[in-house]
Structure 1
Amino acid sequence: MTATHRIVFLDRDSVIANVRRPAFAHTWTEHDATRAGEAVARLRDARATIAITNKVPLSADDLAQLPDLKLIAVAATGTNIIDLAAATRRGIVVTNIRNYAVHTLPEHTFALILALRRQLVAYRADIEAGLWQKSERFCLFGHPVSDLAGSRLGLLGYGVLGKATARIAQAFGMEVIVHNRSPLPDAAADGVREASFDEVLETSDVVSLHLPLTEQTRNMISAKEMIRMKRNALLINTARGGLVDEVALADALRSGLIAGAGVDVLVTEPPPADNVLPNLRLPNFILTPHSAWASTQAMQTLADQLIDNIEAWAAGAPRNVVT
């Protein structure tokens, strides 16, 4: 007789898509949202064998209280919310979602780049202030507009999302240079050039981050890195909040150390009231609420892959395994 798995989705409202039920015997419990302190009780009371979580953390202490748990299906790519070493020790498999945002995140990256290079925020503010209406000419000047064609995009990280971003850049006529942790045997075929971290920082007109957050990459862009960037350069971060020192970025934008920045991720989400970046009111800064990944199409792909991962594990052929 096939065992019935007990599945608990801790934060169902984080995935705005149709989440089909797995095609094996199971019970299904879902919670719209779960605070960190509620996760153990909800999983333990249901005797969950499978936990689904997007952003609800599960620590080593949490896992120690969940003897029935066999699988943690993370409904996201990042797995820093899970104590992976503890999961491994307890024989708990952890899976994640991969390559689902291959269109939405690069498109969002370029939405930020274009808005900043074309000064859309600054000119909208001018119109709202009545400056165009009072202009003596048919058009309004005041903010320098720059083309992307002929400029240089420097990518830090060159996985699936970095590659997709590079292809869009090339369509705009940009030169693309890349610094990656591992060698890039296909760089020439992709039409990009490998470069040192220093060259990316010092010569790029746009620096875009496409890296995971690790102890090695945490605050990799701080004050000393931004000092080395070109004064007309943009910094774009649609990857992970901890990659950039937020206070240093605010200082760099206020002082004109760099020309602008587009950010979709913060160290703490949602941000506390005293976070410097949501309170920054500058025409050369755009902050979006971790929405680069969240197109309708990408969310459905994520939801489908989430259940694919669970079904594959239950069938004895796990995929997208982190531990």
Structure 2
Amino acid sequence: MTQHSIVFLDRDSLIANLRRPAFAHTWAEHAHTKGSEETVARLAGTSIAITNKVPLREAELAQLPDLKMIAVAATGTDIIDLPACRARGIVVANIRDYARATVPEHTLALMLALRRQLIAYRADIEAGLWQQSSRFCLFGHPIRDLAGSRLGLLGYGALGKSVAQLARAFGMEVAVHNRSPIAEDGVIEVSFDELLATSDIISLHLPLTDKTRNMIGAAELARMKPSALLINTARGGLVDEAALADALTRGVIAGAGFDVLSKEPPLPDNPLLALRLPNFILTPHTAWASGEAMQLLADMLIDNVEAFERGAPINVVT
């Protein structure tokens, strides 16, 4: 029986207990891996690579003839050259549906924080305004309920559906624009233009592809309601960040909550990093990272590796 060699390129990206696969193997893990040269050196002679965010492109794959499987410790596979893997017979498996609670909860938290002006009112208290108020409460920033408002979802996969379920529990109307028809009773399907024009909050739940890159730019932001919010817990490249910074600064839309940026970790000149606005919340790609979700991901990751070794791979992308 062949003994597999397994290398985890960025183990520090996963804070969870990671059991070892139940078959003969060697195991090596690295806190993080930077650059093509280091990636190739660490995967030399390896049959199974585990990566969360370390890219494996044609340049690396061409130097790794022993590689048989790439186990992605995430759902997104844009870091992997999938056509090159298919051509070389490399199996790529990802993690699916592990974040059905954590990402939707984070999405709703961003909506609630912005609609209820939590950041603005916290800043007021820190500035001493409540302490100086002539009334028992402090006004100054308009508060809006989620109930009765329209949530527009771009994308209706597992996460989009879970967000819709939570939104409906808050009394929101949910409208969806999806690339394929939705066979589900009660779903309001709308065109992209109608979703932009009629939604009080727009939430993105799409993969990053050549077709979806920068799908929200200056023109799309201008078609949104001035009172609308834009939420992105999917991929940073879905939105033109310079256009969003300009729209928030000029009041084209009312606010935005983001958990992702086009480059991570972000470059210092990213225009969203410079915003100091109470109507913009940026979190450091943590929507997926509840303790419960990371442990489920870790367990599913090894399930994928074990299934590959048995000759019956699951969650296959290629």
TM-score band (shorter)?
over 0.9
**In structure 2, how many angstroms separate the alpha carbons of the residues matched to 1:84 and 1:302?**
21
Paired-residue identity, % = 73
Map of 2:34 onto structure 1? 35
Answer yes or no: is 1:251 the counterpart of 2:253.
no
Deviation of 1:192 (Å): 2.5
Q: How many residues align?
A: 317
**In structure 2, how many angstroms separate the alpha carbons of the residues matched to 1:139 and 1:271?**
38
Q: How does 1:278-317 map to 2 (within 5 A)?
A: 278-317=273-312
Map of 2:175 onto structure 1? 177
Question: Is the Cα contact below 8 Å between 1:14 and 1:54 reproduced in 2?
Answer: yes
Map of 1:207 onto structure 2? 202
What SS class does the counterpart of residue 146 from structure 1 fall into?
A: coil
- Pairing partner for 2:51 from 53, 59, 63: 53
Map of 2:218 onto structure 1? 223
**In structure 2, how many angstroms separate the alpha carbons of the residues matched to 1:235 and 1:192?**
21
**In structure 2, how many angstroms separate the alpha carbons of the residues matched to 1:85 and 1:180?**
25
**In structure 2, how many angstroms separate the alpha carbons of the residues matched to 1:206 and 1:160?**
19
Map of 1:163 onto structure 2? 161
What SS class does the counterpart of residue 60 from structure 2 fall into?
A: helix
What SS class does the counterpart of residue 94 from structure 1 fall into?
A: strand
Moved over 3 A (4+): none
Deviation of 1:276 (Å): 1.0
Question: Could you state the TM-score of these two structures normalised by the residue count of structure 2?
Answer: 0.99
Deviation of 1:115 (Å): 0.1
**In structure 2, how many angstroms separate the alpha carbons of the residues matched to 1:148 and 1:52?**
40
Letter in 2 for 1:30: E
Map of 2:76 onto structure 1? 78
**In structure 1, how many angstroms separate the alpha carbons of the residues matched to 2:87 and 2:199?**
44
Report Cα offsets for 1:212-240 as digits up to 9, x if no partner. Answer: 00111000000000000001000000000
Map of 2:7 onto structure 1? 8
What SS class does the counterpart of residue 170 from structure 1 fall into?
A: helix
Structure 1 spans left out of the alignment, 5+ residues: none
**RMSD, aligned CA:** 0.6
**In structure 1, how many angstroms separate the alpha carbons of the residues matched to 2:188 and 2:59?**
46
Question: Is the Cα contact below 8 Å between 1:76 and 1:97 reproduced in 2?
Answer: yes
Deviation of 1:279 (Å): 1.5
Report Cα offsets for 1:159-213 as digits up to 9, x if no partner. Answer: 0000000000000000000000000011x2xx32111111110000000000000
Question: Is the Cα contact below 8 Å between 1:96 and 1:321 reproduced in 2?
Answer: yes
- Pairing partner for 1:271 from 266, 278, 302: 266
Deviation of 1:36 (Å): 2.2
Map of 2:24 onto structure 1? 25
Structure 2 spans left out of the alignment, 5+ residues: none
**In structure 1, how many angstroms separate the alpha carbons of the residues matched to 2:82 and 2:238?**
21
Question: Is the Cα contact below 8 Å between 1:10 and 1:32 reproduced in 2?
Answer: yes
- Pairing partner for 1:236 from 231, 235, 257: 231
**In structure 2, how many angstroms separate the alpha carbons of the residues matched to 1:212 and 1:99?**
14
Map of 2:121 onto structure 1? 123
Map of 1:104 onto structure 2? 102
What SS class does the counterpart of residue 5 from structure 2 fall into?
A: strand
Question: Is the Cα contact below 8 Å between 1:18 and 1:303 reproduced in 2?
Answer: yes
